[in-house]
Amino acid sequence: MKDLHAGDRRTLGERCYAVLLGLYPRRFRRSYERQLLEAFSQRYRARPTGRARLWLFHLWDLARSVPREHWDVWRDALRGWRARDGVTGREWMSTVVQDLTYALRSLRRSPGFMVVVVVTLGLGIGLNTAIFSIVNGVLLRPLPYPDADRLVWGYSTFSGGNNASVSPPDYLDYRAENTVFTHLAARRGQRPYALTGMDRPLQGAGQEVSAGFFEALGGVPVVGRTFTVEDERIATNRVAVLSYGFWQRMFAGSDDVLDQAMTLDGETYHVVGVMPPGFRLFNAVDFWTPIGFDADFAQVRRFHFLRLVGRLRDDVSLERAQAELDVISKRLEEAYPASNATWRLVVVPLHQVAVSNVRPALLLLLGAVGLVLLIACGNVANLLLARGAARHSELAVRTALGASRRRVLRQLLTESIMLALIGGIVGSVLAVVGVGALQALQPRSIPRLDEVAVDGMVLAFAFGLSVITGVVFGLLPSLSASKLDVNAALKEGGRSGAGRGDGMRAGLVVSEVALSLILLIGAGLLIESFWRLSRVDPGFDVRNAVTTSVALPSARYETDEQRIAFYDAVRERLRSTPGVVDVAVTSNLPLGGGGNDTYLAVPGRHQLGTESQFNAQNRSVSANFFDVMQTPLLQGRQFTSADRDGTPNVVIINEPFANTIFPDESPIGQRLQIDLGDVYEAEIVGVVGGINHFSLGGQRPAEFYLPLRQSAFGGQNLIVRTSVDPLTVTNAIPRIVSNVDPLLPVSPMFTYEELVANSIAQPRFAMLILGLFAAVALVLAGVGIYGVLGYYVAQRTKEVGLRVALGAKNGDVLRLVVGRGMGLTALGLLVGVIGAFGLTRFMSSLLFGVGATDPVTFMVPPVVLALIALLASYLPARRATRIAPIAALKTDG
Amino acid sequence: MVAKPGTPEDHLPLTPAVLHILLALSDRKRHGLGIMDEVEERTLGSVRLGPGTLYGTIKRMVASGLIDEAEGRPAPEEDDTRRRYYALTVLGRQVLGLEAQRLQHLVTVARDKEVLR
């Protein structure tokens, strides 16, 4: 840089500015650099103070003008290309067509190459499209309700937990006092109802909901009406709304279904409406009945068993709604301190609730499948590099005849994109088949799976991905192939010398190995995680056990004695069935989902109805429950037949309960006060082991058990312990149940092993899919190494022949080739381990019992990859040893 | 670069930078620094052209034919032979005139509507 004024020295600031001027494009700098610097200098020297502002001004000026100048260069280059090729806009289009035709012709001449590439790409793009269609259908698409982004889910939090239900009186207050919802509805969990009055007793799935439920979700009945607030008073009249399928099945879809009577659990319900096909919230039910807010237990503010669904007003945000609900919660807390202290209603978007538990797994799979595509691109790029080298003479001729380098480059890129598009079509077909197969298998692990489809959005994704893929794998080989020395290429006569593009090929292999390793390690972590999860001891014996539910209608089973008599009769008959060991009853099935909880107090230490009370899960079980479940008795005794109505109240607690409430003393003999509506006092007679009631991966909750004969609430689940394969006994159970009560419907039966498997279906799914990706990646990487080394050998036929002629042994040749292959692999493994180290932390939420950087899991995959690489290196090496020296030396090139 | 032919109207409306540069050159030839100074003075400091913006705009204006590198230099005492001087072309002058008219029309409308008193 010449000095501006003779004799002046540039200051530090001016030198910095001069360096920054390097950001401008070369041509612009050539023309104006001196003036730019002068303009800066003049201002800079004229102002010894306030230079900070000056710098800011100039930096801002740079920030605006540098991109603009670069953009100008690009725009001119584009125009220049067209100008240089001597074409206008329209003619440019026709050259594109020319390129496409040429590409097709040239690909047709090498069908083998085309098939390999299309298959590789089809696999990569197909897998990506399939996963994306699942992500799109499950995570991205809004729920199938009108204006679904206005829908929220409501639940309670309190000092003892943050995922509790809402009590009916609280709900009614929220409904009455809020101004932010167009509808705020409540629902109970669905349950089976006994339908009688038909030719044979049936079981139907029904759900109790409040008025406004259908309106909140935007459902409009096809026949009749939905529930009104009057319907919520069920003492005088009970109504029901049917689902479309149920209407078709039970009433033949006849139009005069309105006002027809159904007997559910012994009570008469009149049909008032039918919903359209497919209407449901989360799970499909057969019919809906109104929540009876006039029933006794629905008036108790301390009983929480509702979840809420609401539709926000159009002009209301979620934050504002939550703020108003907090105000109402505060008011309820002050008005009813005994029941509502620390209780709050929380609302979250409904979409979040529907898919939140599967989002991390799906996002992981989306990322992983992208890696698979990159590996596939690597292989295809290598193939193209090889092919490009082989086409040197052809390209040289074209260049000699006047095609510019840019034109040749464009031609080659067109070929790549065309290959990618064909691969994309194949991949889309694969994706359709794959998604269809997945839907047919109906894994329980993915919510909204039936809403997944390969639709326009997904196909657009596939198209865009194909184009990007084509550019990604095509760019390097095209750049390399178009950069040729015409004379040398023509002289070589088609066979290029060794060493061209070797670096690029080597780099691709290293990247492929690294990416495969990352996938393998990820899959390994999930496999390890799943293995540990499935080995968790749930606290009871899951083998040889069958479970079923029984819905005893309150009309015919009003008293506890009647229910207990039923269970006794069923138990006696089942025990006399060969293969059955015993039958137990429980109100809540472990790992069956759902639970009941209530407040307790130890007299003298806590006080029910105040903050000192504590919360635990309550269960009503038969005396033989712990024996049948094979849950260990840790202290005290089990229930006996002596514990029944009239004898002192007893209760058994489990280990987590004991550890929390009685950490330093024996609980046996202590008394508990239990809130069952009225205060129920019982003496602790035993402590049993904890059970993973909610999930295998979760904590064991504190539970207490009441004997069936003293407190027969719920009591709807039978657990049958067998001495033989449970499936041989499943016929006997419904037979015996209908012997005892012919009017009871048959329930579906599950073996406990099935139940457990269902509870870990999602981790299994993630593991299987990621394992599939890792396997595909392994194959692709192996093929990639094999291909690159094969090419390496073919390039060096002359050199190898020479060495052999000069005395090299087989061993030396093998070492040469395998050494190169393993060298590349080792580098790839190193990069891959580092990459895996950084990336696996993103899957830690999916892991159970194993850390994201578990050393053992990190050690195995590299060994596996190294072995595959060894095999892939050995095969071409062996071929190298077969090169007859004379033949090799005779080869031209 | 491809020259942009066409009528003067094709260039309207002008970006502020272009307008100020045209104005600066409307009374005499100037070099880049001179343009920067003139604009800053004239607008009382409210419009400051940074060097990058200035020369980038100058480059584009030369390409579209609004200004030219000047033949003939000012008197030797004021001249600095290393600096490049710029002047309006015929087209540039026409465009400047049209833009001034456009703005004047706007002001008239604003007055009529009592936006401007």
Q: Which of A231-235, A703-707, A868-872 reaches the highest mean pLDDT?
A: A703-707
Q: Which of residues 501-520 of A touch B (CB under 8 A)?
A: none
For residue B31, list chain A residues with Cβ-Cβ distance below 8 A. Answer: 35
- With CB atoms and an 8 Å threshold, state whether B50 touches A65: yes
Query: Would the pLDDT of A805 be above 80?
Result: no
For residue B82, list chain A residues with Cβ-Cβ distance below 8 A. Answer: 34
The whole-angstrom separation of Cα A8 and Cα A358 is: 69
The whole-angstrom separation of Cα A669 and Cα A635 is: 11
Please indicate, yes or no, if residue B5 is contained in any of the structural domains: no
The whole-angstrom separation of Cα B97 and Cα A405 is: 46
Residue A239: predicted pLDDT: 94
Task: Please name the member of A39, A68, A79 whose beta carbon is closest to the beta carbon of B51.
Answer: A39
Please indicate, yes or no, if residue B6 is contained in any of the structural domains: no
Residue A489: predicted pLDDT: 55
Strand partners, A756: none
For residue B32, list chain A residues with Cβ-Cβ distance below 8 A. Answer: 35, 38-39
Give mean pLDDT, residues A357-366.
Answer: 86
Residues with Cβ < 8 Å from A36, sequence gap 6 or more?
A21, A24, B51, B52, B55
Q: What is the pLDDT of residues A374-401, one digit of tens each?
A: 999 888 888 888 777 777 777 777 777 7
Q: What is the pLDDT of residues A588-622, one digit of tens each?
A: 889 887 777 788 999 988 888 777 888 888 899 99
Handedness of CA A845, A846, A849, A854 (dihedral sign): negative
For residue A57, list chain B residues with Cβ-Cβ distance below 8 A. Answer: 48, 50
Residue A405: pLDDT band (50, 70, 90) is: confident
Residue A2: predicted pLDDT: 43
Please indicate, yes or no, if residue B48 is contained in any of the structural domains: yes
Query: Would the pLDDT of A319 be above 90?
Result: yes
Residue B77: pLDDT band (50, 70, 90) is: low
Q: What is the pLDDT of residues A709-744, one digit of tens each?
A: 888 776 578 899 999 888 888 888 888 888 888 878
Q: What is the pLDDT of residues A503-559, one digit of tens each?
A: 788 888 899 999 999 999 999 999 988 888 888 899 999 999 999 888 787 777 888
- Rounded to the nearest integer, the mean pLDDT of chain A is 85
The reported pTM is: 0.70
Residue A311: pLDDT band (50, 70, 90) is: very high
Residue A631: predicted pLDDT: 94
- With CB atoms and an 8 Å threshold, state whether B51 touches A61: yes
Residue A654: predicted pLDDT: 94
The whole-angstrom separation of Cα B99 and Cα A739 is: 100
- Which residue of chain B has the CA closest to A82? B2
Query: Would the pLDDT of A7 be above 70?
Result: no
Please indicate, yes or no, if residue B52 is contained in any of the structural domains: yes
Q: Are A685 and A634 in contact (CB under 8 A)?
A: no
Q: Is B4 on the interface with A (CB under 8 A)?
A: no
For residue A65, list chain B residues with Cβ-Cβ distance below 8 A. Answer: 50, 52-53, 56
Please indicate, yes or no, if residue B4 is contained in any of the structural domains: no
Give mean pLDDT, residues A116-121.
Answer: 89
Please indicate, yes or no, if residue B78 is contained in any of the structural domains: yes
Residue A87: predicted pLDDT: 55
Q: What is the ipTM of this complex?
A: 0.85
Please, what's the b/e burial string for A230-255 (b: 16 or more CB within 10 A of its CB; e: otherwise)?
Answer: ebbebeeebbbbbbbebbeebbeeee
**Among the listed ranges A27-41, A678-692, A869-883, which one has the minimum average pLDDT value?**
A869-883
Residue A487: pLDDT band (50, 70, 90) is: low
Q: How many domains does chain B divide into?
A: 1
Tokens representing B106? 């706007």
Q: What is the pLDDT of residues A272-307, one digit of tens each?
A: 999 999 898 888 899 999 999 988 878 888 888 899
Tokens representing A375? 């590996």
Q: How far is CA A334 from CA A176, A304, A407, A609, in A?
A: 18, 18, 79, 14
Query: Would the pLDDT of A90 be above 70?
Result: no
- Which residue of chain B has the CA closest to A58? B50
**Among the listed ranges A140-149, A483-492, B77-86, which one has the minimum average pLDDT value?**
A483-492
We report the CATH number of the domain holding residue B28 as 1.10.10.10
Give mean pLDDT, residues A443-469.
Answer: 83
- With CB atoms and an 8 Å threshold, state whether B2 touches A35: no
Q: What is the pLDDT of residues B91-110, one digit of tens each?
A: 999 999 999 999 999 999 99
The whole-angstrom separation of Cα A714 and Cα A586 is: 8
Q: Which of residues 26-65 of A touch B (CB under 8 A)?
A: 28, 31-32, 34-36, 38-40, 42, 57-58, 60-62, 64-65
For chain A, give the percent of residues with pLDDT over 70: 93
Query: Would the pLDDT of B3 be above 60?
Result: no
State the residue range of the domain holding B17.
12-112
**Among the listed ranges A276-285, A629-638, A836-845, B80-89, which one has the minimum average pLDDT value?**
B80-89
Task: Please name the member of A36, A76, A83 whose beta carbon is closest to the beta carbon of B55.
Answer: A36
The whole-angstrom separation of Cα A842 and Cα A361 is: 11
- With CB atoms and an 8 Å threshold, state whether B52 touches A65: yes
Q: What is the pLDDT of residues B8-55, one digit of tens each?
A: 888 888 899 999 999 999 998 898 889 999 999 999 888 888 999 999
Give mean pLDDT, residues A656-680.
Answer: 91
Residue in A238, A247, A289 with CA at minimum distance from that of residue A267: A238
For residue B55, list chain A residues with Cβ-Cβ distance below 8 A. Answer: 28, 31-32, 35-36
For residue B52, list chain A residues with Cβ-Cβ distance below 8 A. Answer: 24, 36, 61-62, 64-66, 69
Amino acid (one-letter) located at A447: P
Tokens representing A342? 């620390």
Residue B75: predicted pLDDT: 56
Please indicate, yes or no, if residue B3 is contained in any of the structural domains: no
Please indicate, yes or no, if residue B32 is contained in any of the structural domains: yes
Instruction: Please tell me the distance in Å from A58's CA to the nearest CA on chain B.
Output: 6
